[in-house]
Amino acid sequence: MARKLAKSTLERFGKRLEEEQERLQQLIEEYERELEVARMTESSSDRSPDPGNAEASSMKLEYAKELSIEQNTLDLLGKVQHALSRVRSGDYGICERCGEAIPIERLDALPYSTLCVTCASKT
């Protein structure tokens, strides 16, 4: 039976995860604003087509890049929120797949991990 984390340790990681969640949500809001600007720029350049407009195509590239960054951030946010739900249920620090304890060093490095190194390397 894997040991559960001490309450104080759980609280410490819970706090870190909450801070991370907040930071990621702010980042996503920023991306949303930037994407909104990019969308507006894009539609205005559509109204006045200018072949060979390098600026417009680089805007499109930026836009695509922002979208993928936002997607990564959303993925990360999902992991953080999932880990937070494990903190609340008291299962944080226990591998979801094999039920073994996740080393504290791993949690320190990746507070949102809910799998041990062995199980994570299998996915």
Q: Token pair of 82, please?
A: 């999932």
Q: Which of 64, 98, 103, 108 binds Zn ion (CB under 5 A)?
A: 98
Residues 121 and 23: their CA atoms lie apart, in Å, by 27
Site stretch for Zn ion (CB under 5 A), options 2-10, 45-53, 79-87, 113-121: 113-121
Check the CA dihedral 112-115-116-122 and report its sign: negative
Q: Which is nearer to Zn ion, 69 or 117 (CB)?
A: 117
Residues 72 and 65: their CA atoms lie apart, in Å, by 11
Minimum gap (Å) between residue 96 Cβ and Zn ion: 7
Q: Using CB under 5 A as the criterion, which residues of the chain lie in contact with Zn ion when the complex forms?
A: 95, 97-98, 116, 119
